[in-house]
Amino acid sequence: MKKYLFVLLMALFFFSLVFFVDVSPVFSQGLEVEYPTIDEYRPVSLDPGGFPEYLRYIIRFLTIGAGVVAFGALAYGGFLWMTSEGEPLKLQKSKSRIISSFVGLLIILGSYIVLGSISPTLVELERVEVEKTDDVRSPGVYLSLSGSFHEGDAEKIQENVRKITSSERGLGELQGNIKAVRIVNPTDEEGEIIYRYVVVLHGDETFRGECEFLLTNMDSHNFTNIQSEILSNTSSITVIRAERYGTSPYGRVIAYDKPEFQSGSASQNLLVTSTDNFSPLNIEPWSLEVEGSYAIILASGSGWNQMNNECAVFSTSRPITSLVGHYMNRCSPYFFSAFFAAYRSCATHYASFPLYRR
């Protein structure tokens, strides 16, 4: 009983660090950790210096390791059981091992489900999608390391161009070396665009920091005049599949200045279909009512093309009941003490795009 109580107290302590304590200033120098790739998956890259984010990574890594150990113990118990004929003591030991392994697997599975219910980001893994290519005409997003896309020269394309088709949290060796971006939207047999790629360049990993978003209403477009400082600081990229321009809106997106869509709170309709630029926010968004499937970009800055502080992208069909504690709402403290801090929202502009419906 003492052992179980100790484990429970330690678990509560670690979860309190993850969800309630922000000790990142203590680790402001960063943690020199190279996060490994697990079975072609890369664990979520972490915000430099963020101890709670680092702890989330450890939880995910240990969950995978514990599952492997529990499965191995179950297999070993089954082997003992099959070879225990005529040995009651060995049979009893194998049954005990099998039961313990099943209980361990159930605990691991239950923990994974609980963590995912509390916050999906605790168990999220991203497939590595950056790849070499020898063609820049098929649908996708292309990153040039030379400033040119070398159309028709397969050898130079493979050497200087990388292709992505989904969001990428960590660019690795590509960081600081991107010179241009090319977007190729898919088209049907009649040449009509099926859906558009919306690309958001982020200045920090985990889709944070200064951002710049790119899109085209043509079948393809090369973006070669992006500000050099934005490209050199790009550390992660969001890729969104949005409906083609001119598609009739469906559902709604409403921002409220209080959590939980409280009645009597101020609100603002975020469905703007006449422009592909950022529009100003007239309220501080603390909850988002979403009907339909939308990509919503919240950003801070003095203008739609000067998102120089923070940027967040939500791709969702579910309402966001509360943005309390979200980093977009933690960059403007108006009350601070050793035990408590209150913040204003730092989101000043937004853009919204209906997600592609197959």
Beta bridge partners of residue 198, listed in sequence order: 240
Give the model confidence (pLDDT) of 78-133 as tens digits: 777 777 776 777 777 777 777 777 777 777 677 766 665 555 555 454 444 578 88
Give the model confidence (pLDDT) of 235-263 as tens digits: 889 999 999 887 777 888 999 999 898 87
Nearest to 322 by CA among 254, 252, 270, 258: 258
- Lowest mean pLDDT of 126-135, 264-273, 312-321, name the range: 126-135
Distance CA 2, CA 105 (A): 22
Distance CA 153, CA 150 (A): 6
Distance CA 254, CA 82 (A): 61
Mean pLDDT of the chain: 75
- Residue bearing tokens 């590509």: 174
Contact 29, 1 (CB under 8 A): no
- Lowest mean pLDDT of 34-43, 166-175, 287-296, name the range: 34-43
Distance CA 141, CA 181 (A): 7
Kind of pairing between the strands at 332-336 and 341-344: antiparallel
SS in 3 state form for the chain? CHHHHHHHHHHHHHHHHHHCCCCHHHHCCCCCCCCCCECCEEECCCCCCCHHHHHHHHHHHHHHHHHHHHHHHHHHHHHHHHCCCCCHHHHHHHHHHHHHHHHHHHHHHHHHHHHHHHCHHHCCEEECCCEECCCCCCCEEEEECCCCCCCCCHHHHHHHEEEECCCECCCHHHCCCCCEEEEECCECCCCCECEEEEEEEEEECCCEEEEEEECCCCCEEEECCCCHHHHHHCCEEEEEEEECCCCCCCCEEEEECCHHHCCCCCEEECCCCCCCCCEECCCCCCEEEEECCEEEEEECCCCCCCCCCCEEEEEECCCECCCCCCHHHCCEEEEECCCCEEEECCCCEEEEEEECCC
Task: State yes or no: pLDDT of 340 exceeds 70.
Answer: no
Q: What pTM did the predictor assign?
A: 0.62
The encoded tokens of residue 342 equal 């209150």
